[in-house]
Structure 1
């Protein structure tokens, strides 16, 4: 009797382990089915965006690059006048040259072309050309990366894809985890790749080993990309900024505030999207003008490459903002348009703990925080994501039965399946759109399982 029990217990343990493996494999398959196309798009566009300055400077070098000269640069007002003479309209931004070989950029809202960026040689005020505002090559890449071209629903898709990507990595690590294998003390497929490209085992090992080495970075990219999602990111942004007020607590000062938000004036950091703009108080002397505003921003020490947004109306302000690779030099300054007095001057040091953490994560995500090394590491991760996606597709194609989607089999014990679902549901509570998609996948899985059972019961 004892001998029989000793044989039954290991058999039950093996069956339970097999059921759990099948359940994890099944959800790993579903996660991959959902996110692999998005991962390829995000990896390719993300890899390009890592080198946005280099790529944009090369693609648009005819308007963005000028010859360095010893002569003094023209005043900002003269540069703006030249841009308006070529393209009449309303100025909504001005970017002084960031380097001796950079042109000045003037944002003009025109009647016939819409919003455009006019590039002017700062030495002789010669207009070099124009590009549609946010129409440069790298802006197109950025819009594709965020799926902004496809409307607000696509923003929710990004959030869902990020949540399922985390699930994909977690289940993938479980499937990779070395288990007892006969005949080999150091089995292949753990950190080495077996077989040849014509064999499925080669693609399986390539997929598993690549996922092992880049899994952490993929989760990092998914988590740090979440703040830009429309649903979760939007609500967390409002919560983090204190009931939609926006400014970090350290820079809340007693100045008149408008209902306009900083994000409406131009691109800004995630932490300041909800930041409200202060108001200017009218003075008898009139506005100080763009030349004086730029001189004040230079005197205050804003990092080169900053942008200036002119006042929007009599109560508006001059806003100087810069978001360089060095987080410590991020800064936004609002000037009273009549006195030139800084109304609010805020930097990365003024952000709260959550804002600092999220901005640091976003900076690393974008390849900025650690210079070229950051770019190269993230480029390698993007290449690995493409390899993971391609190897998964090849592996599935070689495994799938003819005429079938090839969904991994259900575990014998349905409890194993529900155990994995419960774990995933925790993530669904944190990320509601991911939870909603999980419910949809559960319903589809039940329909697929029921259909198979009905087909199996049909007489031949």
Structure 2
């Protein structure tokens, strides 16, 4: 008689698979919910950062109109007289009735933005660079106030959010029952909070995924790697779009506010060098940028040394108007002129996602839709917290039961391991949570 062929291991039962997913959805939610509330509240505020700054700092940002503006060199001189330092960048008045902004770097390295009336030359006041209300909100949003480790926690939370959405949709899936998009019970009952959490999660799932994925480029580890990969060498992506240029070792982000996609971009070096002629000066440089048609609101960086260049960059709400221009500081000749249309498919996709994430691409509609999503995310977290609080036993965490078939747990862990490999910080936190789960299982035995 031929030996019996060993049968394949049976597939996990649906109830065991459900319990395994539920267990890890619970752990992820316990870890991520506080971060999601922080990100939703600060993100909702930052959607309206321009409007908030215009209101809070209207005495700095707006001025009475007049017939003519002073030369740009005079504006820089007034700012330098009031706040000694080296000019790092300069933003000419973006529109009539707007102030000019001069970024100065002091001897101690501190950077301050000085606001100047471009018509009368009056210094209106100053703010720390990246300070003010919107600066505080942005640093809270990324936890950059608290250093690299805290910023890494935000990256970990964003990665776990992706897994939370996928596992949450699996848990919600109707499986033949009706009314999966309706609320049951009353606010005092756990079923009400469960349904509120599930139904809100279904409606906001795509927004959560979109915000988590498009927020990853700013992250400390994954974002840095994708940034380096996307940029390649030399000037962003693609390198040296219009002409072959000699490149300096200075990066664009050190000279100007820059789009995420150009953080690795290097500044060109002036080919003619210091011996060619006298520099054209800031007045002629700004006139040259205006002649080239770059959108107003652009920032100008001054040459850093004899081989430096004048650079102008603008990143408005309309992606099509994104632009970076470098000109020779002696001749005004254009060395590089790069816009959104020059990016490759990856660069365009990343920039589009970032612009929508910031609430810029589609104007007020973009802001209002994402504001509603942020409110729904807070509601989702509150409902999840209330549901857990009502369910948990006294003195315990209320961890969902372990599946009877441990094979179901292995299936879920295998799927999660893929996410851990793609997002290393998430993978590291998974190992810690596995150790915690093992300890809890031992304690229960």
Q: Same fold (TM over 0.5)?
A: yes
User: Is 1:211 aligned to residue 208 of structure 2?
Assistant: no
Counterpart residue number, 2:149:
153
Counterpart residue number, 1:427:
419
User: Is 1:254 aligned to residue 244 of structure 2?
Assistant: yes
Note if contact 1:428-1:436 (Cα within 8 Å) is conserved in structure 2: yes
Counterpart residue number, 2:3:
none
Note if contact 2:242-2:337 (Cα within 8 Å) is conserved in structure 1: no
Alpha-carbon separation, structure 1, partners of 2:91 and 2:390: 54
Alignment of 1:49-198 (within 5 A): 49-69=46-66, 71-111=67-107, 114-181=110-177, 186-187=178-179, 190-198=180-188
Alignment of 1:309-458 (within 5 A): 309-453=301-445
Mark the CA change 1:243 to 1:427 in structure 2 (over 3 Å): closer, same or farther: farther
Counterpart pick for 2:279 among 287, 300, 312? 287
User: Is 1:227 aligned to residue 217 of structure 2?
Assistant: yes
Note if contact 1:248-1:352 (Cα within 8 Å) is conserved in structure 2: yes
Counterpart residue number, 1:47:
44
Aligned-pair CA distance for 1:325: 0.4
Note if contact 1:238-1:246 (Cα within 8 Å) is conserved in structure 2: no
Note if contact 1:238-1:244 (Cα within 8 Å) is conserved in structure 2: no
Q: Which runs of 5+ in 2 are unaligned?
A: 1-9
Aligned-pair CA distance for 1:110: 2.7
Q: Secondary structure at the match of 1:91?
A: strand
Aligned-pair CA distance for 1:253: 2.8
Alpha-carbon separation, structure 2, partners of 1:68 and 1:209: 52
Deviations 1:288-333 (A, max 9, x none): 1110110011000111110011111221111100000000100001
Aligned-pair CA distance for 1:180: 3.9
Alpha-carbon separation, structure 1, partners of 2:327 and 2:166: 49
Q: Secondary structure at the match of 2:105?
A: strand
Aligned-pair CA distance for 1:145: 1.0
Q: TM-score, normalised by structure 2?
A: 0.94
Aligned-pair CA distance for 1:252: 6.0
Alpha-carbon separation, structure 2, partners of 1:58 and 1:360: 28
Alpha-carbon separation, structure 1, partners of 2:235 and 2:87: 28
Alpha-carbon separation, structure 1, partners of 2:97 and 2:223: 38
Counterpart residue number, 2:6:
none
Q: Secondary structure at the match of 1:344?
A: strand
Alpha-carbon separation, structure 2, partners of 1:243 and 1:257: 10
Alpha-carbon separation, structure 2, partners of 1:285 and 1:323: 32
Mark the CA change 1:447 to 1:245 in structure 2 (over 3 Å): closer, same or farther: farther
Alpha-carbon separation, structure 2, partners of 1:442 and 1:419: 14
Q: Secondary structure at the match of 1:259?
A: strand
Alpha-carbon separation, structure 2, partners of 1:177 and 1:250: 50
Aligned-pair CA distance for 1:250: 6.2
Q: Secondary structure at the match of 2:311?
A: strand
Q: Secondary structure at the match of 1:356?
A: helix
Q: Secondary structure at the match of 1:129?
A: strand
Q: TM-score, normalised by structure 1?
A: 0.91
Aligned-pair CA distance for 1:228: 1.0
User: Is 1:16 aligned to residue 8 of structure 2?
Assistant: no
Aligned-pair CA distance for 1:433: 1.8
Q: Secondary structure at the match of 2:102?
A: strand
Alpha-carbon separation, structure 2, partners of 1:111 and 1:385: 45
Alpha-carbon separation, structure 1, partners of 2:315 and 2:422: 30
Counterpart residue number, 1:308:
300
Mark the CA change 1:347 to 1:324 in structure 2 (over 3 Å): closer, same or farther: same
Counterpart residue number, 2:4:
none
Q: Secondary structure at the match of 2:87?
A: strand
Q: Which runs of 5+ in 1 are unaligned?
A: 1-11, 454-460
Deviations 1:254-300 (A, max 9, x none): 22211111111132112111111101222442211110110011000
Alpha-carbon separation, structure 2, partners of 1:328 and 1:408: 50
Note if contact 2:230-2:237 (Cα within 8 Å) is conserved in structure 1: no
Aligned-pair CA distance for 1:249: 4.0
Alpha-carbon separation, structure 2, partners of 1:230 and 1:166: 17
Q: Secondary structure at the match of 1:151?
A: helix
